[in-house]
Structure 1
Amino acid sequence: MSLLVYAAIFLTATVIAVPLCRKFGLASVLGYLLAGMLLGPWGLRLIQDGEGVLHVAEFGVVMLLFVIGLELQPSRLRAMRKAVFGLGLTQVAVTSIIVGVIAWLMGLSTHAAIVVGFALSLSSTPLVLQLLAERHQLNTQHGRSAFAILLFQDIAVMPMLALLPLMAARASEQTVVESLLVAGKGIAVLLLMVFGGRYVLRPLLRTVAETRAKEAFTAAALLVVVATGLLFNAVGMSMALGAFVAGVLLAESEYRHELEADIEPFKGLLLGLFFVSVGMTANLGSLLDHPGRITALVVGLMAVKFTLMWLIARFMGYAADACRGMAFSLPQGGEFAFVLFAIAVSHGIMAQSLADTLVIVVTITMIASPLLMRLQSFVELKMGGAEPRAFDEIDSTDSRVIIAGFGRFGQIVGRVLRMRRISFTALESDVAQVDFVRRFGNKVYYGDASRRDVLQAAGAERAEILVLAMDDIDLSVRTAALVRRHFPHLKLFARARNRQHAIRLLDLDVRYVIRETYLSSLDMAQHALEALGLSRADAIESISRFDSHDQRTLERQREARDDEQKLIQSSQLAARELEQLFETDTATSHAPAPAAAQSDATGS
């Protein structure tokens, strides 16, 4: 069968199965899995080589981890370290031990029980992230925590892949030496990637970008993913880890958002193909031969993981709704279990029959996950929660201005525009805020401005200005990047929560950035100077000089944002400069200026 025929079959199945699932309120992932079962050897038998398709489709997971890496700037990774290495490590360790002990009590050898315990502690990164994204839960507390756990799981797979040869039933001295050699190669490749990311990848992308050839940059983005994946694979490590490392190294580059935009279409299609192939490779024969045992294993595994996740999250101080959210999101098995079981069989750690049974168990748990997420909505409703509210239909599409975020800041902008009879469309992603503002007669739409379809519905293609006034810093930056990519004609005016937020917005070439407390602080400082005896003209002059100095300091800190030592030096230099700047004024007045410099590093 030719490649084009395969492509036509996959596309047809996707076009039919996915919309049907979405029509009945089910996740698109379930449509992919069911389509795979229908196409595979246990369905219509249109495609027999499910394993071969799976190997190709696994590249979708590789691209997913590259995009995840792009989102993980070092500063953000440091901020997530508690969740990643606290919650994530605890979940993997506790679940591996409990499931491994259960497997050992059921008669498995010690090594087989260790592999089974670890493999079944993992969840499906692409499945969970896609389900959370479809339900608009990625930015919730349980969504961010689930992402942190999945990230640690993906990292934890790599050491296990290196340990499997050491656990083989007949592990010889040569096997140990070879495993240590593989580990040494892996460390060398990681160091090479760190060096190459700064001195090879970024200059390469800069050179390609200067040609202004869109297709060449897309090819370069794909080449980065493929080449890094192959490099890691060549030394016996995961292609997914290689792509993830490459993404992290490029997370602070100026091309991060463009890379993500170019990779996104390929990632989506290949992830769909991955889930189709998972459905095709499911050995339904095992289910037909031992339905009771398979059902018991599926229910038991999901019940154990659900309970442990809830207990771990509760023990670590998370709110009850966040605990439930994580428990409902992560009880399934993951795609890396297929890889671990295959390697364990090849090394004689477990029997092929056991691996076949566990593969069908993991597959069924993945199929059940979208249904379990639906059950979560019902549970939340019964426990006093509410069904996730659908975004409003926007009937105003010809406004000159779009205000994203209609809190205190956005409302003042809106009132001024209304005073001048300038049309605007207000978007707010907080349901409670929408309902509160509407009670006072304001017209605001419930919608997430960081989504392209919502901005299109709000008339972004015809508007002139977008005012970023939302509280959430990551949401603000993500919206700015989206607008820069898809609506470049829009003039961006942004509110920044602090200096770090302002720097991230300036990196996206936002036209105008104002720190939310900056102007009010300067106004207060001016009145304080006047109260201390300065004339109004002298007070205004002092504020003007401070403002000019602060803008220069912000630019210096922007250049040094990745180097903490340089950032500290920049703040200290700014304090000395400010002392010198007002030295004469301080000598002739009673208004001390140097203390104002203390906020340069962390202030408004």
Structure 2
Amino acid sequence: MEFIFELAIILLASKIAGDISVKLGQPSVLGKLLVGILLGPAVLGLVSNTSTLEELSQIGVILLMFIAGLETDIDGFKRSWKASTLVGFSGIIVPFFIGFIAGVIMNMSTIEASFLGLLLSATSVSISVQALKELNKMKSKEGTAILGAAVIDDVVVIIALAFLMSVAGGDVNLSMIILKKVLFFAGAILAAWKLVPLILTKFAPLKVTESVISGGLIICFLFAYMAELTGVAAIIGAYIAGLAINITKFKHEILKKTETISYSLFVPVFFTSIGVKASFEGISQHLSTIIGLSILAILTKLIGAAAGAKLAKFSWSSSLGIGAAMVSRGEVALIIAAIGLESHLISQELFAILVIVVLVTTLVTPPMMKYFFKKSQSQKDIKITA
């Protein structure tokens, strides 16, 4: 029952912290992230990073990306493919090369420096999705470009990681990894076209409570599972599931009820759990490295992705807002870091440093997004008034 008590603390603290954050002019997600640090072992020790918390957190991020898919403007998504491609690739190229140079300066081997560059190229927009919702940007051109770029980023970085591991001598079949991803996307598109509407149509008339939302969640979790199974992140599978349901007549009912389930329990747990994982043990010994890599991680992704957005004809403020949304490395970078540690491409010491760097990028993303998008909106208002 101890976890039940911790869960009550998480929900209470995250809601209060989110409210305080909004009153201070920041997105609520920032308060939820910070209160996680406060509750976790790093400060008060009221909440432990248990496997149960991890599982609930995983459900939270899956549901968050599922909601993002449900809320995506499909027509805008189709129109934004060029912008998404430019943002995705420029947001990979700049961090990779600057990260590689940083690795060389830190006396890493070519393979290790390449791994550092690849890790800095990763993006997780699960935090950005919540900020986009609060800023009413989910269905905007910027929002659709960000979500499309995140899918591209995830696929390209994972394939590049597989290539690097094969070069490093790991037991990796690059052709099989690429084939799995191709099969997943082909299967997901086919299922979205044929199976998803059929499943929901069959579930709707069932004489049981909440049959439609149950059907939607089944689709979400199956897509997420198959994505993870084929080496694509579960959050991408969940997002595609949301897109699939987006074009059905059940969209609004599933969205409304999924939001109730998600934001009352699973999503607050996800945001808070990120802070709970923080550990500042021995931080003073590596403070300069942490600061240096954090600045590098923030600026390279911000500038790289913003450059791609500018090439796609966005204004500078909107471009920087898009770049800011891509800054958070989140769980994607943590997974890559864990692979690097297991494969002896990074040391335990560097792994601990990178975990803090990932946390820093996650914390700065919401306020940066708010600043740049608010500036962009102000400029639009001035033009309209003029």
TM-score range, shorter chain: 0.7 to 0.9
Going from structure 1 to structure 2, the CA distance change for 1:210 and 1:273 (only over 3 Å counts) comes to same
2:283 to 276, 282, 287: 287
Q: Measure the CA separation in 2 of the matches of 1:387 and 1:183.
A: 43
Going from structure 1 to structure 2, the CA distance change for 1:316 and 1:157 (only over 3 Å counts) comes to same
Match of 2:69 in 1: 69
Matched, 1:259 2:254: yes
Deviation string, structure 1 residues 123-181 (Cα, Å, up to 9, x no partner)? 431222222332334455544443443343234344346446425x442xxx234x544
Q: Percent of aligned positions with the same letter in both sequences?
A: 24
Q: Measure the CA separation in 1 of the matches of 2:175 and 2:305.
A: 34
1:176 to 172, 187, 191: 172
Match of 1:128 in 2: 128
Q: Measure the CA separation in 2 of the matches of 1:316 and 1:245.
A: 24
Q: Measure the CA separation in 1 of the matches of 2:46 and 2:215.
A: 35
Q: Measure the CA separation in 2 of the matches of 1:201 and 1:233.
A: 19
Higher alpha-carbon deviation: 106-115 or 347-356: 106-115
TM score, norm. by length of structure 2: 0.85
Matched, 1:348 2:344: yes
1:296-307 to 2 correspondences below 5 Å: 296-307=292-303
Higher alpha-carbon deviation: 47-56 or 83-92: 47-56
> In the TM superposition, what is the alpha-carbon distance from 1:336 to its structure 2 partner?
0.8
Give the gaps of 5 or more residues in structure 2. none
Deviation string, structure 1 residues 112-133 (Cα, Å, up to 9, x no partner)? 3223222222343122222233
**Counterpart secondary structure, 1:250:** helix
Q: Is the 8 A contact 1:69 1:246 kept in 2?
A: yes
Q: Measure the CA separation in 1 of the matches of 2:296 and 2:177.
A: 36
Match of 1:308 in 2: 304
> In the TM superposition, what is the alpha-carbon distance from 1:8 to its structure 2 partner?
1.0
**Counterpart secondary structure, 1:335:** helix
Q: Measure the CA separation in 2 of the matches of 1:228 and 1:272.
A: 23
Q: Measure the CA separation in 2 of the matches of 1:328 and 1:79.
A: 22
Going from structure 1 to structure 2, the CA distance change for 1:197 and 1:147 (only over 3 Å counts) comes to closer
Match of 2:212 in 1: 217
Match of 1:243 in 2: 238
Deviation string, structure 1 residues 179-236 (Cα, Å, up to 9, x no partner)? 5445544444444444444444322210111237551222222111122222333444
Q: Is the 8 A contact 1:104 1:113 kept in 2?
A: yes
Q: Measure the CA separation in 1 of the matches of 2:231 and 2:368.
A: 36
Match of 2:201 in 1: 206
Q: Measure the CA separation in 2 of the matches of 1:71 and 1:339.
A: 27
1:33-52 to 2 correspondences below 5 Å: 33-49=33-49
Q: Measure the CA separation in 1 of the matches of 2:190 and 2:308.
A: 38
Q: Measure the CA separation in 2 of the matches of 1:233 and 1:309.
A: 26
Deviation string, structure 1 residues 421-452 (Cα, Å, up to 9, x no partner)? xxxxxxxxx7987x79xxxxxxxxxxxxxxxx
Going from structure 1 to structure 2, the CA distance change for 1:367 and 1:264 (only over 3 Å counts) comes to same
Matched, 1:98 2:93: no
Higher alpha-carbon deviation: 368-377 or 104-113: 368-377
Going from structure 1 to structure 2, the CA distance change for 1:60 and 1:162 (only over 3 Å counts) comes to farther
Q: Is the 8 A contact 2:17 2:32 kept in 1?
A: yes
TM score, norm. by length of structure 1: 0.57
> In the TM superposition, what is the alpha-carbon distance from 1:367 to its structure 2 partner?
1.4
Opposite residue 108 of structure 1, the aligned amino acid is: M
Q: Measure the CA separation in 1 of the matches of 2:110 and 2:289.
A: 22
Q: Is the 8 A contact 1:32 1:276 kept in 2?
A: yes
**Counterpart secondary structure, 1:211:** coil
1:343-422 to 2 correspondences below 5 Å: 343-373=339-369, 375-376=371-372, 380=375, 386=378
Deviation string, structure 1 residues 294-319 (Cα, Å, up to 9, x no partner)? 22322233233333344444455433
Q: Measure the CA separation in 1 of the matches of 2:138 and 2:229.
A: 34
Q: Measure the CA separation in 1 of the matches of 2:325 and 2:228.
A: 30
> In the TM superposition, what is the alpha-carbon distance from 1:84 to its structure 2 partner?
1.6
Q: Is the 8 A contact 1:166 1:176 kept in 2?
A: yes
Higher alpha-carbon deviation: 261-270 or 339-348: 261-270
Query: Size of the alignment, in residue pairs?
Result: 385
Q: Measure the CA separation in 2 of the matches of 1:216 and 1:92.
A: 42
> In the TM superposition, what is the alpha-carbon distance from 1:50 to its structure 2 partner?
5.1
Q: Measure the CA separation in 2 of the matches of 1:136 and 1:200.
A: 31
Q: Is the 8 A contact 1:123 1:334 kept in 2?
A: yes
Deviation string, structure 1 residues 274-332 (Cα, Å, up to 9, x no partner)? 22111111221243333333223222332333333444444554333323333444444
Going from structure 1 to structure 2, the CA distance change for 1:165 and 1:108 (only over 3 Å counts) comes to same
Q: Measure the CA separation in 2 of the matches of 1:26 and 1:51.
A: 31
Deviation string, structure 1 residues 358-404 (Cα, Å, up to 9, x no partner)? 110110122123343465489x49xxx8499xxxxxxxxxxxxxxxx
Q: Measure the CA separation in 2 of the matches of 1:320 and 1:67.
A: 28
Q: Measure the CA separation in 2 of the matches of 1:346 and 1:211.
A: 47
Match of 1:325 in 2: 321
Match of 1:490 in 2: none
Going from structure 1 to structure 2, the CA distance change for 1:369 and 1:283 (only over 3 Å counts) comes to same
Q: Measure the CA separation in 1 of the matches of 2:100 and 2:184.
A: 32
More relative contact order, 1 or 2 (CA 8 Å, 6+ apart): 2
Going from structure 1 to structure 2, the CA distance change for 1:92 and 1:377 (only over 3 Å counts) comes to closer
Going from structure 1 to structure 2, the CA distance change for 1:7 and 1:80 (only over 3 Å counts) comes to same
Q: Measure the CA separation in 1 of the matches of 2:359 and 2:72.
A: 29
**Counterpart secondary structure, 2:210:** helix
> In the TM superposition, what is the alpha-carbon distance from 1:17 to its structure 2 partner?
1.6
> In the TM superposition, what is the alpha-carbon distance from 1:337 to its structure 2 partner?
0.5
Q: Measure the CA separation in 2 of the matches of 1:140 and 1:192.
A: 28
Q: Is the 8 A contact 2:99 2:120 kept in 1?
A: yes
1:524-535 to 2 correspondences below 5 Å: none
Give the gaps of 5 or more residues in structure 1. 389-429, 437-604
Q: Measure the CA separation in 1 of the matches of 2:88 and 2:238.
A: 21
Match of 1:27 in 2: 27
Deviation string, structure 1 residues 522-542 (Cα, Å, up to 9, x no partner)? xxxxxxxxxxxxxxxxxxxxx
Match of 1:87 in 2: 87
Q: Measure the CA separation in 2 of the matches of 1:44 and 1:82.
A: 47
Higher alpha-carbon deviation: 179-188 or 249-258: 179-188
